[in-house]
Amino acid sequence: MNIGRSSNPVFTKSVFNTQSYSQSYNEVMTLNGTINKSMALLLLVIVGALYTWNIFFSAIDAESGVSLIYRWMLIGGIGGFVFSLITIFKKTWAYITAPIYAILEGLFLGSISAMFEANFPGLVLQAIALTFGTLLVMLLGYKTGFIKVTQKFKSGVIAATGAVALIYIISFIFSLFGVNGLIIHSNGWLGIAISLAVVAIAALNLVLDFDFIVKGSKAGLPKHMEWYGAFGLMLTLVWLYIEILRLLSKFASRD
């Protein structure tokens, strides 16, 4: 089966090549199994996020709250990145590393969400609602065939995602030299337009992830790939949430 490609680094073509796995496994990847594991990872993200969220809002003021969650934010951000790499390169460990990644990512998301909420009350609830609303819309579009995952569609999303990654890398390099006023971070209309485009690209990546999970289950991959598929989907969902949070903060800061 020709699985194709995805801009999500987790879902490369080689990942879904059944010839790259030993045929000695008895259980295979299923769609329902991947959905259940995706829900489990999402629950772990929520648990981690609630932990740092509560630490922040239990503090006397926002300044002390930031100091209390700062180390957890670093642990979550750096640890989540490390375990995401481990999961990508050691797929058979996904049943262990993916849940750990989810908890760490939750610590990070809870920290940054709390800080955004302190500056813009009500923003986080809006971001969560829009994230899951987007997830459902993209899933419905894929299931009904309204959004068709053609090779041209894949190539366009991959190119757009690569462009976003390049822009963020350049932005990071500039920040190392003290240049932080790039247009992509501004709350002007151009900065907002860029954020809208990034949110759209992240949403389209969800469609590619759905497609790979469905085709991966049809290809009869080993059971541990359910955790791996759920992990890949969670990566995109986290990215989408962060981008929506940033977009809403730009709108809120204009008031």
CB 185 within 8 A of CB 239: no
| 3-state secondary structure (DSSP) of residue 28 | strand
Task: Flag whether pLDDT at 17 surpasses 70.
Answer: no
* Dihedral sign of CA atoms 46, 47, 48, 50 in order: positive
Give, for 14, the enclosing helix (H) or strand (E): none
| 3-state secondary structure (DSSP) of residue 252 | helix
What's the pLDDT score for residue 89? 94
First to last CA, the chain: 52
Task: Flag whether pLDDT at 44 surpasses 70.
Answer: yes
Rounded CA-CA distance 217/107 in Å is 31
Residue 138 contacts by C-beta under 8 Å, 6 or more apart in sequence? Answer: 147, 203, 204, 206, 207, 210
Task: Flag whether pLDDT at 19 surpasses 60.
Answer: no
The single-letter code of the amino acid at 167 is I
Rounded CA-CA distance 95/80 in Å is 15
Band (37; pLDDT cuts 50, 70, 90):
very high
Rounded CA-CA distance 74/80 in Å is 9
193-250 pLDDT tens trace: 999 999 999 999 999 999 989 999 998 899 989 999 999 999 999 999 999 999 999 9
Rounded CA-CA distance 250/152 in Å is 32
Single out the residue of 54, 59, 11 nearest to residue 233, CA to CA: 11
The two tokens of residue 237 are 């969902």
136-187 pLDDT tens trace: 999 999 999 999 999 999 999 999 999 998 988 888 787 777 666 566 777 8
Rounded CA-CA distance 86/80 in Å is 10
Task: Flag whether pLDDT at 11 surpasses 90.
Answer: no
